[in-house]
C-alpha cells in the first residue's frame, strides 16, 4: 500500500507521546494561525482561481471563521483537556471518578472543494487540540488550493505528526485501506455513496467516523413575514459562493400569494447585492468545474425561470436564478442543487409544508421565516434536521457554541468549537479507588447470601428524589 509507510510514521510519532503536552498543541495551533495570516493573500488568490470565489466571501469563510475557531480553541484548550470530575454514588463516594480526555491516535481528514481551506482547517484545529496526529486529504477538484495546502502547510506544522496527501479517487481508495483511529469526511449528499464507501472502509478497522454530508435544505416562508428582509436573507444564503454551500437554502416552500410577493423582493435583493448584471459583480462566484456546471444547467428546465437563468459555459457562470411554480417531480427537486438556483414550490399552508419536508430524507438544515414565533417553533418541533435557523439562513454555523452536523442521509457526528475537540477525543471513564476500606467490599464477594444482597441493594441503589434513604 503506497501510504502504509506514511501512516506508520505518523503512528510512531503518536506513540512517542509528542502530541500530548498542552504546550505542543498550542504551538501547532499558533502555527496554523500564522499560516492564515501570512498566506492570506495566497489563499484568496487560489480560491479565486479555482472557482472565482469573491474575496470578501473567501476572507469571511476561509480566514475569519477559521481564526474564530482557532481563538475559541486556544482560549479554552487547557480547560477542555482537564479531567472532568463526575458525580459519584454511595459505593464510590470516597473514590476519585473522572473522565480523561485521550486522543484517538492517527486521524484522517478528507475535505471537499467548496470551502477548501475552512473544511479541512476547522476539523484539523480540533484534531490537533485533542492531541492526535493527522493526515489531511484536500480536494483534488480545487487544484490551486490543493497545491497551496500541500506545499505550504508543511512549513508551519510538525512534519512528523501532520501530513498532507494529494490524491484522486483511486489513491484515496488505497489510502482508506490503512487503519486510522478516526476518519472525518466532508462531502456532498449528491453522492451519498461516497459517505457509504468511507464508512464501509472504516468498518473494516472498526474506525469511528464523522460524516458531514448534505441534503436539500428546505426554507419555509410563512404568509406573515417581512417580505423584503426575508428575501434578502434567503437570497444571501442561496447565492453565497454561487450556491455551492452544503447548508444553503435549497428550495423555498410558500403559498401562491407569498410567491407573488417574494418575486419582486428577491429581484430587488439580487440587484442590491450584485448590480443589474451579476456577471460583472466581483461579489458573485462561479461554478467550480465543467461537470458541475452542466449538471446545474440541466436543472433549469424546472418550473419557469422567473429571475436570471443566463449561463456562460466558458466562464462557468450561472446567473442568480429563481424558478417559480416548481413541481416536486421536476429535475430541480430530485437532487441537492449546489448552485445559484432557487426553486419555489407552492404549498397551501404550514402543515402541508411540514408534511412535504417530513416525506423526504432529513436535511442538514431547515429554515423557517415568520413574524409569528409560534409558526417558527411549529416547524422546528415537527421536523427533524441537522440544524435549524429561524428567520435567517446559514448563520447558525457561525456560532461556535452550536454543534454542526447532520442526521440520517445528511450525516453523522458533529463539530465546531468544543464539539470538534470532543469529536477527536476518546472520553475515558476512570475510577481511582483506595486500597483500604476493604471491609466495605465484603458485600460484593462470594459466597453470596440474601442478607448481603439486601445491604448491597441499599448501597448501590439510586433512590427517587424525595424518598427516604435511611437503611
Partner 1 sequence: MERMQQVVGRARAAFNSGRCRSLEFRIQQLKALKRMVQEKEEEIVAAIKADLHKSGPSAYSHEILYVMQDLILTIDKLPSWAAPRPVKRDLLTMRDEAYVSPEPLGVVLIMGPWNYPFLLVMHPLIGAIAAGNAVVMKPSEIAENTARVVADLLPQYLDPELYPVVTGGVPETTELLKQRFDHILYTGNSTVGKIVMAAAAKHLTPVTLELGGKSPCYIDKDCDLATACRRITWGKYLNCGQTCIAPDYILCDPSIQSKVVENIKATLQVSVEFLVQWELEARSQISSFHIPPLNFPTFFELTLHGGARPSCQPEEVNTMACWLRVPHAVLLSYTVWPLLGLCNILFVFFFCQLIERVISETSSGGVTANDVVMHFFLSTLPFGGVGNSGMGAYHGKHSFDTFSHHRACLIKDLKMEFMNKLRYPPGSQKKVDWAKFLLLKPFNKRQTGLVILALLGIVAAVVMKVSFG
- We find the least distance from the C-beta atom of residue 301 to partner 1, in angstroms, to be 28
- From 133, 225, 246, 254, active-site residue: 246
Is 38 catalytic? The answer is: no
- We find the least distance from the C-beta atom of residue 374 to partner 1, in angstroms, to be 12
- We find the least distance from the C-beta atom of residue 302 to partner 1, in angstroms, to be 26
116-134: burial string, b at 16+ Cβ within 10 Å, e else: bbbbbbbbbbbbbbbbbbb
Quote the CA–CA distance of 365 and 347 in Å, as a whole number.
Answer: 19
Residue 432 DSSP SS3? strand
Quote the CA–CA distance of 166 and 184 in Å, as a whole number.
Answer: 16
Q: Residue 209 is inside which H or E element, if any?
A: strand 209-212
- We find the least distance from the C-beta atom of residue 303 to partner 1, in angstroms, to be 26
The residue among 100 and 297 lying less far from partner 1, judged by its C-beta, is 100
Is 219 catalytic? The answer is: no
The residue among 284 and 332 lying less far from partner 1, judged by its C-beta, is 284
Answer whether the bond into residue 447 is a cis peptide, omega within 30°: yes
- From 57, 62, 146, 212, active-site residue: 212
The residue among 169 and 445 lying less far from partner 1, judged by its C-beta, is 445
Q: Residue 207's closest CA among 171, 179, 165?
A: 179
Q: Residue 260 is inside which H or E element, if any?
A: helix 256-274
Quote the CA–CA distance of 31 and 43 in Å, as a whole number.
Answer: 16
Count, residues in the chain: 471
| CB atoms near residue 281 (< 10 Å) | 15
- We find the least distance from the C-beta atom of residue 412 to partner 1, in angstroms, to be 4
The residue among 272 and 352 lying less far from partner 1, judged by its C-beta, is 272
The residue among 177 and 325 lying less far from partner 1, judged by its C-beta, is 177
DSSP string, 90-112: STTTTSEEEEEEEE-SEEEEE--
Q: Which residue has the cell 482537564?
A: 82
**What is the set of active-site residues?**
212, 246
Amino acid at each position: 500500500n503506497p501510504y502504509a509507510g506514511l501512516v506508520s510514521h505518523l503512528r510512531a510519532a503518536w506513540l512517542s507521546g509528542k502530541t500530548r503536552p498542552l504546550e505542543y498543541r498550542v504551538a501547532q495551533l499558533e502555527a496554523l494561525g500564522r499560516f492564515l495570516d501570512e498566506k492570506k493573500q495566497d489563499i484568496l488568490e487560489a480560491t479565486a482561481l479555482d472557482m472565482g470565489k469573491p474575496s470578501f466571501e473567501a476572507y469571511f469563510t476561509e480566514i475569519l471563521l477559521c481564526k474564530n475557531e482557532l481563538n475559541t480553541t486556544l482560549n479554552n484548550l487547557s480547560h477542555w483537556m482537564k479531567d472532568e470530575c463526575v458525580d459519584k454514588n454511595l459505593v464510590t463516594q470516597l473514590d476519585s471518578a473522572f473522565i480523561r480526555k485521550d486522543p484517538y491516535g492517527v486521524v484522517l481528514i478528507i475535505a471537499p472543494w467548496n470551502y477548501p481551506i475552512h473544511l479541512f482547517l476547522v476539523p484539523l484545529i480540533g484534531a490537533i487540540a485533542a492531541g492526535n496526529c493527522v493526515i489531511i486529504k484536500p480536494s483534488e477538484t480545487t487544484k490551486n488550493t490543493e497545491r497551496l495546502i500541500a506545499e505550504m502547510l508543511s512549513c508551519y506544522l510538525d512534519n512528523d505528526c501532520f501530513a498532507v496527501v494529494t490524491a484522486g479517487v483511486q489513491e484515496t481508495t488505497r489510502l482508506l485501506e490503512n487503519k486510522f483511529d478516526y476518519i472525518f469526511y466532508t462531502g456532498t449528499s449528491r453522492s451519498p455513496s461516497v459517505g457509504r464507501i468511507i464508512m464501509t472502509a472504516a468498518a473494516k478497522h472498526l474506525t469511528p467516523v464523522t460524516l458531514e454530508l448534505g441534503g436539500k435544505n428546505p426554507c419555509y416562508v410563512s404568509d406573515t413575514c417581512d417580505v423584503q428582509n426575508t428575501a434578502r436573507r434567503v437570497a444571501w444564503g442561496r447565492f453565497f459562493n454561487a450556491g455551492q454551500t452544503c447548508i444553503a437554502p435549497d428550495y423555498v416552500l410558500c403559498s401562491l400569494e407569498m410567491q407573488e410577493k417574494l418575486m419582486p423582493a428577491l429581484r430587488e435583493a439580487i440587484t442590491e447585492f450584485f448590480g443589474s448584471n451579476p456577471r460583472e459583480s466581483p461579489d458573485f462566484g462561479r461554478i467550480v468545474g465543467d461537470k458541475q456546471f452542466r449538471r446545474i444547467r440541466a436543472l433549469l428546465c424546472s418550473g419557469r425561470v422567473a429571475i436570471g437563468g443566463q449561463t456562460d459555459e466558458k466562464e462557468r457562470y450561472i446567473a442568480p436564478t429563481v424558478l417559480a411554480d416548481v413541481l416536486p417531480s421536476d429535475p430541480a427537486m430530485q437532487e441537492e442543487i449546489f448552485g445559484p438556483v432557487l426553486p419555489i414550490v407552492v404549498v397551501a399552508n404550514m402543515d402541508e409544508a411540514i408534511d412535504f419536508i417530513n416525506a423526504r430524507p432529513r436535511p442538514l438544515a431547515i429554515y423557517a421565516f415568520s413574524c409569528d414565533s409560534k409558526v417558527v417553533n411549529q416547524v422546528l418541533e415537527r421536523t427533524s434536521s441537522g440544524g435549524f435557523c429561524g428567520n435567517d439562513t446559514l448563520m447558525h454555523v457561525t456560532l461556535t457554541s452550536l454543534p454542526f452536523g447532520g442526521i440520517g442521509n445528511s450525516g453523522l457526528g458533529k463539530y465546531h468549537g468544543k464539539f470538534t475537540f470532543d469529536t477527536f477525543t476518546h472520553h475515558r471513564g476512570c475510577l481511582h479507588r483506595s486500597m483500604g476500606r476493604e471491609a466495605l467490599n465484603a458485600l460484593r464477594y462470594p459466597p453470596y447470601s440474601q442478607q448481603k444482597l439486601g445491604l448491597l441493594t441499599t448501597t448501590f441503589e439510586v433512590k427517587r428524589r424525595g424518598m427516604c434513604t435511611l437503611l
